[in-house]
Amino acid sequence: MTIDWVGLDADDTLWHNESYFITSYELFAEIVAPYLAPTDDPYQAAHDLLIATEIRNIPQFGYGIKGATLSMIECALEISHRTIPAEDVWRLVERAKEMMAHPVELLDGALDALDALACHRLMLVTKGDVMDQRRKIEHSGIAERFDAIEIVHEKDPQTYAAALDRHGVDPRRFVMVGNSLRSDIHPVLALGGWGIHVPYETTWAIEHAEAPEDHPRFRVARSITEAAELIAGSGSIAAAAD
Amino acid sequence: MTIDWVGLDADDTLWHNESYFITSYELFAEIVAPYLAPTDDPYQAAHDLLIATEIRNIPQFGYGIKGATLSMIECALEISHRTIPAEDVWRLVERAKEMMAHPVELLDGALDALDALACHRLMLVTKGDVMDQRRKIEHSGIAERFDAIEIVHEKDPQTYAAALDRHGVDPRRFVMVGNSLRSDIHPVLALGGWGIHVPYETTWAIEHAEAPEDHPRFRVARSITEAAELIAGSGSIAAAAD
């Protein structure tokens, strides 16, 4: 058994994303701070309320900048008992537009890792606003390195199974590389595939999940470079898969 | 030459969509009316300002309910010189959630038309919020009738060419059926394909375009039923294509 296809997450695996959201969260915390009870950490308090709103709204708004912005506006209205100045709503909308235009900055080592994986077939698997993801894929300059690009609404076993099926991929010969245990690793392991977790410097609270214990097809890498080594060369996946 | 693949638009071609947006536009007009100069038609005045905002924001927000809602909020803030009550912003956000849960109501004749086209390969081609489109596709109950489903960020010749290429479709043997001349017909004709325009009762202002004049691969149908007849049977496409 060998690995034919390598799936790669994009946000916070190939390019920076969460770091831009943190700037938005800081703006949100600044706007709602006057309405919060005095606390040691107003940023954390605001963040916790926002995450609860985002989780509640995922069935309607899904993932991405537009849904996150609508959740910020709704949460600010709730916290302020609908007294927030229109000017602050304006700042959140304008911030959304800035987010939609933020530069696409590849992680260190991402290009070299793609080079190292060039003898495999590569699938980009990402979720979020379809237009924003398309923009980032185009601006990243790496679109032509992929044999398949899948923008999905949710990364669960069902959507992975459908994506693999579309391209005739045997899950047992597929490894997914990504920063989210919840979205990139668990669903692929559940299908019989392999998973390599490459933690990012920060993880969106909604993406937190436990790492699998002693799973035979699960690996952790410290960087995208190390993930590529695990797959391509003398690393443990290649060894275990032989 | 025969037609192998039939592309079908979804919103306002297979199921109702614009009618739900009209309810949102009415709410928007009600909210901004107090800030507008007296006019014979406050709904039309509000609508014109909103469409201008939506067009300006398409590069950032794309298509769909979330982007439309952010544009409504921004436009209401502009019209009111940022004095709009928070309560009205709340109503727009809540309306977005209702939109994201609206029932999927197939157009009359849609199911029979799909039956009539069952001997062709069928591709659903739609744009908008990926999560909302997925939801509607699932709730429509017709997903399994399609050989391919493409949710794209813009319906231009480039995205059609990529979608046809993914499924190995020759554009000269592909006909697209849809209610938007701009999104469903012109780009496909430009690629050498066929187009059948089935006007809906209303058209979103942004989708307006001129009909092609005397184009050999362009047809107009009064209903989805008539479009299916044109393709399947003794209609003019089959005749012209033989």
pLDDT at B150: 93
pLDDT > 60? residue B121: yes
**Preferred mutation among B69, B73, B78 to probe A, highest tally of A CBs within 10 A:** B73
A and B: number of Cβ contacts within 8 A = 100
pLDDT for B65: 94
Average pLDDT, chain A: 92
Task: Kindly report the nearest CA distance between residue B88 and chain A, in angstroms.
Answer: 9
> How many residues in chain A?
242
CA B84 to chain A, closest CA, distance in angstroms equals 6
Tokens of A210: 């436990």
Residue B205 has a pLDDT of 78
Average pLDDT, chain B: 92
Model pTM? 0.87
Interface probe with B: pick from A31, A32, A70, A81, most Cβ of B within 10 Å: A70
Domains of chain B: residue spans and CATH: 5-15+106-241 (3.40.50.1000), 18-99 (1.10.150.240)
pLDDT at A239 over 80: no
In B, which residues are within 8 Å of A82 by CB distance? 85-87, 90
Q: Which residue of A has its CA nearest to B153?
A: A131
B197, B219 contact by CB (below 8 A): yes
**Token pair of A85 as six digits:** 């100045």
Q: Which of A17-21, A161-165, A206-210, B105-109 has the lowest mean pLDDT?
A: A206-210
pLDDT score of A234 = 46
Q: What is the mean pLDDT of residues A7-27?
A: 94
Nearest-CA residue of chain B relative to A87?
B82
Nearest Cα to A169, choosing from A6, A1, A41? A6
3 state SS for chain B: CCCCEEEECCECCCECCHHHHHHHHHHHHHHHHHHCCCCCCHHHHHHHHHHHHHHHHHHHHCCCHHHHHHHHHHHHHHHCCCCCCHHHHHHHHHHHHHHCCCCCCECCCHHHHHHHCCCCEEEEEEECCHHHHHHHHHHHCCHHHCCEEEEECCCCHHHHHHHHHHCCCCHHHEEEEECCHHHHHHHHHHCCCEEEECCCCCCCHHHCCCCCCCCCCEEECCCHHHHHHHHHCCCHHHHHHC
Residue-level pLDDT at B234: 47
pLDDT in tens, B177-226: 999 999 999 999 999 999 999 999 877 778 888 899 889 999 999 999 99
Q: Which residue of B has its CA nearest to A85?
A: B86
Phi and psi at residue A15, to the nearest 5°: -135, 160
Does the pLDDT of residue B237 top 80, yes or no? no
pLDDT of B1 reads 53
Chain A residues within 8 A of B62 when measuring between CB atoms: 129-132
Nearest to A130 among B97, B100, B153 (CB): B153
- Residue B126 bridge partners (DSSP): B151
Q: pLDDT at position B189, please?
A: 97
**Residue among A60, A89, A129 whose CB faces B101 most closely:** A60
Question: H or E element: which one contains A59?
Answer: helix A42-61
Q: Do B61 and A100 touch (CB under 8 A)?
A: yes
pLDDT attached to residue B242: 47
For residues B50 and B22, is the Cβ–Cβ distance under 8 A?
A: no
What is the distance of C-alpha B194 from the center of its chain? Answer: 18
Task: For residue A134, give the nearest of B82, B132, B153 by CB distance.
Answer: B153
pLDDT in tens, A49-78: 999 999 999 999 988 999 999 999 999 999
Q: Tell me the pLDDT band of A1, cut-offs 50, 70 and 90.
A: low
Record: contact A86-B83, CB cut-off 8 A: yes
Residue A37's pLDDT is: 87
pLDDT value of position A170: 97
